Amino acid sequence: MKPKTAQLGGPCMSRHMEDNLDMTLAELLPRMQHRILSGMTWFGVRVLKCPNDFWMYQEILFERRPDVIVEIGNAYGGSTLALAHLCDLLGHGRVIGVDLSHGGVPDVVRRHPRVRLFEGDACALYGTVRNEVRKGERVLVIEDSSHTFENTLAVLRTYSPLVKPRDYFIVEDSICHHGLSEGPSPGPFEAIEAFVAENPDFEIDRSREAFVVTWNPKGYLRRRDDDSIGGKLRRLGKRLAGE
């Protein structure tokens, strides 16, 4: 007898993969979201992160070796701690966490020697964060705050100057209304498209969506290589335009 398709929270829901091989992606994503929101942890600290994406983060960290990771939106601090642990393994890097409040962040995160936390509006704190970055240091920015279109676009515009060529600006939760029927609309997905349309120095790197399931569709933004032919043409165009 063919197993019934599992629905999130339904009485026939099975947690086992072999019973759900006919499940659609549209049915799978809410179940994953439920697990992420209902108790996912990193070393005992709550974390709101798709495991597929965090695996991709460690690949980016290993490849690019940023000096500073700016994480905007820290919630319970689990992802902040996880990023600091990856820096420990690399023997390099530090994490700057920015959020309106860190009241829910436990001491194990606050005490980590690679972590520095700042409370307040991310755009208002840009000068403070920028002063934490030493001359020549390379920065990875992760935007995971309110997910509204306006705020996401404002953070992209404000923090993108920190990102050097070939490095990344990651926008999280662009899955809102592009995979999950929740969150702001328009939201991060539309803000990403608007930012890239107005800023040709950045491109969407969809190779970072190799697991297919991602909470960040179109969210892996890479600053283009200034030394590429395209980069030289862009600089020439700006000079001709008098910018």
DSSP-assigned states of every residue in 28-69: HHHHHHHHHHTT-EETTEE----HHHHHHHHHHHHHH--SEE
Most confident of 36-40, 155-159, 230-234: 155-159
- The DSSP symbol for 172 reads -
Delimit the domains of the chain by residue range: 45-232
pLDDT in tens, 146-172: 999 999 999 999 999 999 999 999 999
CATH level 3 topology of 45-232:
Rossmann fold (3.40.50)
pLDDT in tens, 110-121: 999 999 999 999
Which residue matches tokens 């960040």? 216
Distance, in Å, from the CA atom of 131 to the CA atom of 233, rounded to the nearest integer, reads: 31
Q: What is the reported pLDDT for 166?
A: 98
Contact present, 201 and 162 (Cβ < 8 Å): no
Which residue matches tokens 């029927």? 181
Which residues have C-beta within 8 Å of that of residue 227, sequence separation ≥ 6? 165
Which residues have C-beta within 8 Å of that of residue 173, sequence separation ≥ 6? 144, 147, 183, 187, 188, 215, 216, 219
Q: What is the reported pLDDT for 229?
A: 56
Phi/psi for 59 (5° steps) reads -65, -45
Contact present, 234 and 223 (Cβ < 8 Å): no
Which residues have C-beta within 8 Å of that of residue 36, sequence separation ≥ 6? 48, 49, 50
pLDDT in tens, 65-107: 999 999 999 999 999 999 999 999 999 999 999 999 999 999 9
Q: What does the mean pLDDT of the chain come to?
A: 92
Contact present, 46 and 76 (Cβ < 8 Å): yes
The SS3 of residue 71 is strand
Which residues have C-beta within 8 Å of that of residue 151, sequence separation ≥ 6? 145
pLDDT in tens, 46-59: 999 999 999 999 99
Extract the tokens encoding 38.
């209902």
Q: Among residues 231, 144, 227, which one has the least CA distance to residue 191?
A: 144
